[in-house]
Amino acid sequence: MQRDNFDSERGTVSEDVRERHREIADAVLSEEPYGQLIGGEWVDSETGEECAAVDATTGETLATYWRGTAQDVDRAVTAAQAAFDETWGSYNPMQRADALDDVADALEERKQEIARIDSLEMGKANQHSLFVDATIMISQFRYFAGLARTADEGRRPSSASNKLAYTSREPYGVVGQISAWNFPSMFVAWKMGPALAAGNTVVFKPSPRAVLSTLEVADVMNNHLPNGTINVVPGTGPDVGARITDHPEIRKVSMTGSTAAGKSVMEGASSNLKALSLELGGKNPNIVFPDADLDDAVEGALIASFFNQGEQCTAGSRLFVHTDVREEFLEQFTEEMERLTVGDPLAPMTDIGPLVDHAHLDRVQSYVDTAVEEGANVLVGGGTPEDPDLAGAPFFEPTVLTGVDNDDTVACDEVFGPVVSVIEWTDREEMIEMANDTEYGLASAVWTTDLDTAHETAAALEAGTVWINTYNDLFDNVPHGGYKQSGLGRELDKEAFESYRQTKTVVLNQGKLPRIG
């Protein structure tokens, strides 16, 4: 049994790597098929099928799970509604906070295992899955536990002397959440943390490309929450995702994924005008000014371009470098790239693991090939590594393209791989115009030692986040989200928490109503 989009016929990596992965998989994963979490119980899909969760590096089956259907979503919504009506929905903020803190404590004990699962299934370097993803996952639950304790439950606006007006902030009830495959465990906390803290119950769909860490995290959470508070239904977008977006009893949907998927969710959610939060794609400008500290700018560009194999919506895949420092920057940048280790994601010093599967490898390669056809030059990389120990697995070299025009395909589309396009610039206004000339607006960065330049450029950029002399800095209490077709709403911050609450206004008249006529 293999995952639908993994080509096992291309061969796999060395036997040593395969054996290491088998040992770790046996230690951290269930031998029995993973069910769906519905109403506090792990159950099989009524009409679905058993699917394989595949090791991104070796192509071998890690575990199996039941693929959900629209009918399973209906069961999950019923369970979530019951939990909202009978248990979790009646918890006060302190009780919700205590439960989320218990969840965080329990996940802390499983942190290393969960990180390894993401490295196995998605190919993420373990140093990143452990020290970034799993760490942020736990801190998010703690952060939203704190918000549950301290957030305003409403206010009392000023009113006439004979009237009393007040507001209350109330949960939606059952919310649907659809996650992406590139940060599987972390996105569970990004989404469930604020939703649960605000008092909602959840029906959650992980990506079929990386489902196992979500199921393991949900199992931990389920031990500390009332039955039905969280429900997880793995499955495809056309079946499970579509039913979540159009289900009449789900009043809000949050989705992380591509812009195309976001538009599909918006269409489905229009059936009953659901509230939406969408964290979508990006084609983000990373701008180097001539006065930048090049050591820092180069390090930042490495993070922007190659962290998580470039499989990140915030990737700084359009690297705008000023003419005056272009040669020096690229020389230093390519030298630093040589120290990046491409290899087994479970090896402690690996920086770049495999892409999630061969279908995605083909997609990334096609963008590089198209770029060359359109006139770009491959300065570094451009294909699969020659290391025989990695042969057959979906690895892709860190790649730098020069001679790229801002309207080339590779500069317009989200490649979602370790590919960066260098765009040379001289005129600041023209550069900003190019930086903003995209349908996306998720993130951006500015490298300069001049604070006026930094703040003026930040103000001019059409992006939800602008980093200055840093990259991918995401904090618990700083909102993250996009402009334009990069999405709606915000993650991480109090804004995310508030997006899971709706306002009720109550006006009490304590005097006589005026008579008409």
List the domains of the chain with CATH numbers. Answer: 37-280+493-501 (3.40.605.10), 285-461 (3.40.309.10)
Choice between 48 and 25, residue whose per-residue pLDDT is larger: 25
State the sign of the Cα–Cα–Cα–Cα dihedral 337, 309, 63, 129.
positive
Paired strand residues for 166: 506
pLDDT tens by residue, 40-70: 999 999 777 999 999 999 999 999 999 999 9
Contact 282, 256 (CB under 8 A): no
Q: For the residues of 62-127, what is the DSSP string, one character each?
A: EEEEEEP-HHHHHHHHHHHHHHHHHSGGG--HHHHHHHHHHHHHHHHHTHHHHHHHHHHHH---HH
For residue 224, give every residue at least 6 positions away whose Cβ sits within 8 Å of its Cβ, in sequence order, or none: 99, 102, 103, 106
Catalytic, 249? Answer no
pLDDT tens by residue, 340-390: 999 999 999 999 999 999 999 999 999 999 999 999 999 999 999 999 889
Confidence of residue 4 (pLDDT cuts 50, 70, 90): low
Nearest partner of 222 among 88, 118, 315, 91, judged by Cα? 88
Nearest partner of 79 among 204, 246, 221, judged by Cα? 204
pLDDT tens by residue, 139-167: 999 999 999 999 888 888 877 778 888 99
Nearest partner of 429 among 263, 287, 216, judged by Cα? 287
504 token code pair: 């009720």
pLDDT tens by residue, 256-290: 999 999 999 999 999 999 999 999 999 999 999 99
Amino acid identity, position 59: G
The alpha carbons of the chain give a radius of gyration, in whole angstroms, of 24
Global pTM reads 0.94
* Cα distance between residue 271 and residue 274, in whole Å: 8
Paired strand residues for 380: 400
Contact 234, 205 (CB under 8 A): yes
Environment class of 30 (CB within 10 Å of its CB; exposed 0-12, middle 13-18, buried 19+): middle
pLDDT of residue 158: 79
pLDDT of residue 475: 75
- Under DSSP, the state recorded for 177 is E
> Strand ranges (DSSP E) for 10-126?
36-38, 41-43, 49-54, 61-67
pLDDT of residue 2: 45
420: enclosing H helix or E strand: strand 419-425
> Residue 512, Cβ neighbours under 10 Å: how many?
7
In the set 108, 109, 113, 279, the catalytic residue is 279
